[in-house]
Amino acid sequence: MSSPCRSAVSLAALAVLTVAACDREEREPRGAPVGDSGPAAITQGTLYAGQPSPPGPSHREYEGNAYHISQGKQLYVWFNCGTCHANGGGDIGPPLMDDQWIYGGTLENIHATILQGRPNGMPSFRGKIPEQQVWEIAAYVRSLSGQTPKAASPGRSDSLNAKPDEQRMPREEPKGSSPGGPNLEGRQ
Amino acid sequence: MYTVGASAALEHQGRRRRCFGLNIPDAEAGADVVISRLTGAMVLVACALGAAVPAPAQDASAGKAIPAAAASPADDGNWVMPGKDYASTRYSAQDEINTGNVRDLQVAFTFSTGVERGHEAPPLVVGGTMYIVTPYPNRLFALDLTKPGAPLKWSFDPKPAASAQGVACCDYVNRGPAFADGRLFINTLDGQTIAVAAETGRELWRTQLGDINKGETITMAPLVVKGKVLVGNSGGEFGVRGWLTALDAGTGTIAWKAYSTGPDADVLIGPDYKPFYDKEKGKDLGVTSWPPDAWTIGGGTVWGWISYDPELNLIYHGTANPGPWNPEQRPGDNKWTGGIFARNPDTGQARWFYQVVPHDLYDHDAINELLLLDLPVNGAMRKTVVRPERNGYLYVLDRATGEVLSADPYAAINSSTGVDLKTGELAMVEAKAPKLGKVVRDICPTAPGAKDWNPSAFSPRTGLIYIPHMNLCMDWQSSEANYIAGTPYVGAEVRMFAGPGGHRGELSAWDPVKRAKAWSVKEDFPLWSGALTTAGDLLFYGTMEGWFKALDARTGEELWRFKTGSGIIGQPIAYRGPDGHEYVAVLSGVGGWAGAVVVGNLDPRDATAAKGFATAVADLKTKTTKGGMLYVFALPQRR
């Protein structure tokens, strides 16, 4: 039987992992924050002491860019996000295409979730995915619930057509538990 | 009805159609129940020349199946292990509640577990105390049955790691505790086995067995045999390497450990190993039937049921699916996944193995319950092990040798055509085999199978096996699975839907001697609860909407139903209380793979959510909500 299992897909992912693992070796001893995703830049609750802070530094270029989002879509598969979250409908992990966010639905929140992991079973990918790719994945996750501009969202899935394309997803209005989402970050 | 034209009309009870070694059972007519026939047309796809032939004469000598005597002692009113006895009959000899009075059954008391995930466990009852284990966080509660309202006697919180929730493929379930010699044994989601004193709830020992960072969890119910606690791992969707281990019940130290893949020494295959079929013979097949090193992440976990025959001194257990699901990534038979082992409980050494699904194509874990029954086959009584498999066939094997005596379809199948009893081979339908880059449509049964883990029950009074099962089919698209430790290793996208007829569940009463359905009842939702049968000639089971039902075990007529607070996926039991009266108990609390759409609040707009199960039961969200609650029922004068 011909074995298609050593395809470019897994090789590429392996390479990414290897490179990323080297990065970690260099970075970890100083414990430096990764990018600007440190605790200071991220809000996880919807309660503020005093006035709400202005939004953190923007990585909006990822959300408006069709190339980054389609890269993010590939990486979402390669890093096995889809094996726990399906094509956004959820499985072991919660759905990512709906209007509910436990840890926040902004680009920064999702970036932080991917790097830090979350206590009830979301693995930390810190040191495993290069910084720019984390932003790309986060932008793609945003497209799952229609948060990215239609023109930039992926239009056709190569899966068994399990759900409407990201482009055709109605924009979900993040509900109460979504810090900063609707008010500070969410609107285009 | 069969859609095979005139020959169907010629058929009557006791005859069956044979084609290429495949038997298609005929249903025996029952009075006032829906008689559901197998969709013969589907099975016959590859079998156009099938002709009706008279059944062998011995079928007429209607002997009855009985449970293996040494494995089914007289009922003492307790319920000390999930299967009720080592034969796994789930039969209670209590008969105070019976077909005549069951319509008066009422709630005696309830107890909230405070846990929202799927409750797959049975309560246990030992001498006036009831024990309940919850899904993650795996709390253990002891209720005092001697006092009014059964107040809490003690509770035990094992505090498993929260991260374990991320590596549980199909909800954070637990399938039950086990009791022996004054001790209770539970497994925790994060891979521990813990012993506590049954009287006080004091922890006696705990042994860490699994590593969640490799994707290992434990969800199965342990079984205690001859002072050893038998425990196996879960994680077949994470590229773990499956094993079954035996712990000393007194100390928790490991007595032996048998892997499901790898060299013979690891699998505990040695001089005792005498399989029936040639296909199970050879050196280190657990290595050589895989691409290089694939066996190290090849699955074959042992998360299902174990039975024990004290007379033959053999335990029986299954091994789950190989990983990843994408079969093209693992050419070969993928030993010793997808099969049944008989082992010596003292040493763990294998006696025989039968691979039900060599090179599994569809996630067909071979871990379902194993009923130890003695029954007439070709005129002679045989010691058998009977199992309704995920692949849709009900297998009867000689439990001393591993020979397949029969394998009959009990549900809609179009992905295989039958089992050759000479070679033990399962004949697959090429057109339904997954191929990379192709969507293969309408495969029956699905990945969770014609029937998943939820166990059947056997009544020695009726001679029938009561099988709670499903009627679903699926579309499948293979993809390249990528191994990253601690994340799933699957490589397939699946979408499920209702099978022929449109109903999604079915309760079939199966006669293992006639090799045919006696009667069956259709259910709207897939059945994910276990079955219980009693000497009152009753059959109990629950539905995913939350109905708890009592049927006449002889006819299938529904006699009573009660709506619980959530969907039922637990295992009902019956016991004799300290007051001498009969009680029936079940945990309500939807979840599991089938109920993930509710407990995980999944979005069924994505047909692949919950590995394809969410869309098939999307309407469940409008029928029930989550939450664990114990319900105990009794006749009214007893309260």
Which DSSP string do the residues of A16-28 spell out, in sequence order?
HHHHHHHHHHHHG
Q: Are residues B302 and B396 in the same domain?
A: yes
Write the CA distances from B274 to B184, B271, B347, B350, B551, integer angstroms: 35, 8, 16, 8, 42
In a domain? residue B95 = no
Contacts of A11 in chain B (CB under 8 A): none
Give the pLDDT confidence of B120-165 residue by residue, as tens digits.
999 999 999 999 999 999 999 999 999 999 999 999 999 999 999 9
What is the rounded CA–CA span in Å between residue B525 and residue B375?
A: 33
| pLDDT tens-place values along chain A, 188 residues long | 444 434 444 444 444 444 444 444 444 445 444 444 444 456 677 677 877 665 555 677 899 999 999 999 999 999 999 999 999 999 999 999 999 999 999 999 999 999 999 999 999 999 999 999 999 999 999 999 999 999 999 987 766 777 888 888 888 888 865 544 433 333 33
- Rounded to a whole number of angstroms, the distance from the CA of A113 to the nearest CA of chain B is 14
Please state, in angstroms and rounded to a whole number, the distance separating the CA atoms of residues A177 and A139: 20
Interface membership of A122 toward B (CB under 8 Å): yes
What pLDDT is stored for residue A109 in this prediction?
94
Contact flag B607-A162 (C-beta cutoff 8 Å): yes
B57/B140 same-domain check: no
We report the CATH number of the domain holding residue B522 as 2.140.10.10
Phi-psi region of B362 (alpha: psi -120 to 50; beta: other; left: phi over 0): alpha
| B614/A89 CB distance under 8 A | yes
Tokens of B490: 């699957």
Does ipTM surpass 0.95 in this model?
A: no
Place of tokens 């005792």: B272
The pLDDT, as a whole number, for residue A162 is 77
pLDDT band at B465 (very low <50, low <70, confident <90, very high): very high
In this structure, is residue B1 part of a structural domain?
no
CA distance A121 to chain B (A): 3
Radius of gyration for the alpha carbons in chain B, expressed in angstroms and rounded: 22
Whether residue B111 is contained in a domain is answered as: no
Chain B closest CA to A94's CA: distance in Å?
6
Q: Work out the pLDDT band at B359, boundaries 50, 70, 90.
A: very high
Q: Tell me which of A5, A75, A114, A159 to substitute to probe the interface with B (most B C-beta atoms closer than 10 Å).
A: A5
Q: For residue B219, which of B323, B301, B125, B325 has the smallest C-alpha distance? A: B301
Provide the domain count of chain B: 2
Indicate if B280 belongs to the active site: no
Burial class of residue A8 in the structure, from the number of CB atoms within 10 Å of its CB (0-12 exposed, 13-18 middle, 19+ buried):
exposed
**Interface check A18 vs B, CB under 8 A:** no
Question: Which distant-in-sequence residues (6+ apart) come within 8 Å of B13 by Cβ?
Answer: B26, B28, B29, B514, B516
**Full residue range of the structural domain in which residue B29 is found:** 8-61
> Which residues, 6+ apart, have CB-to-CB distance to A16 below 8 Å?
A78, A129, A130, A133
Partner-chain contact A89 B168, CB within 8 Å = no
Any catalytic annotation for residue B363?
yes
Verify that B47 and B77 share a domain, yes or no: no
Question: Per CATH, which fold does A58-175 belong to?
Answer: Cytochrome Bc1 Complex; Chain D, domain 2 (1.10.760)
pLDDT digits (tens, 9 = 90+) for B394-447: 999 999 999 999 999 999 999 999 999 999 999 999 999 999 999 999 999 999
Structure-block tokens of residue B472? 């679903």
Q: Is A8 on the interface with B (CB under 8 A)?
A: no
Q: Are residues B181 and B326 in the same domain?
A: yes
Same domain, B45 and B188: no
Pair type for strands B532-534 and B91-92: parallel
Spatial distance between the Cα atoms of A43 and A55, rounded to a whole number of angstroms: 9
Range with lowest mean pLDDT among A24-38, B104-118, B168-182, B210-224: A24-38
Is residue B98 situated within a structural domain? no
- Percentage with pLDDT > 70 across chain B: 90
Using a CB–CB cutoff of 8 Å, tell me whether A88 touches chain B.
Answer: yes
- CA–CA separation, B45 and A113 (whole Å): 50
Contact by Cβ (8 Å): B230, B306:
yes
Kindly state whether residues B172 and B294 are assigned to the same domain. yes
Same domain as B85, residue B15: no
Q: Is residue B509 part of a domain?
A: yes
Q: Which residues of B touch A94 (CB under 8 A)?
A: 600-601
Q: Is the pLDDT of residue B587 over 70?
A: yes
Residue-level pLDDT at A2: 41
Determine if the peptide bond prior to B137 is cis (ω within 30°): yes
Cis peptide before B455 (omega within 30 of 0): no
The verdict on B273 and B303 lying in the same domain is yes
Q: Are residues B548 and B461 in the same domain?
A: yes
Strand partners, B208: B192
Residue B101 lies in a domain: no
Query: Are the C-beta atoms of residues B185 and B611 closer than 8 Å to each other?
Result: no
Strands in B573-576's sheet, in edge-to-edge order, are: B106-112, B629-634, B582-588, B573-576
B145 and B33 housed in the same domain: no
Full 3-state SS string of B84-127 = CCCCCCCEECCCCCCCCCHHHCEEEEEEECCCCCCCCCCCEEEC
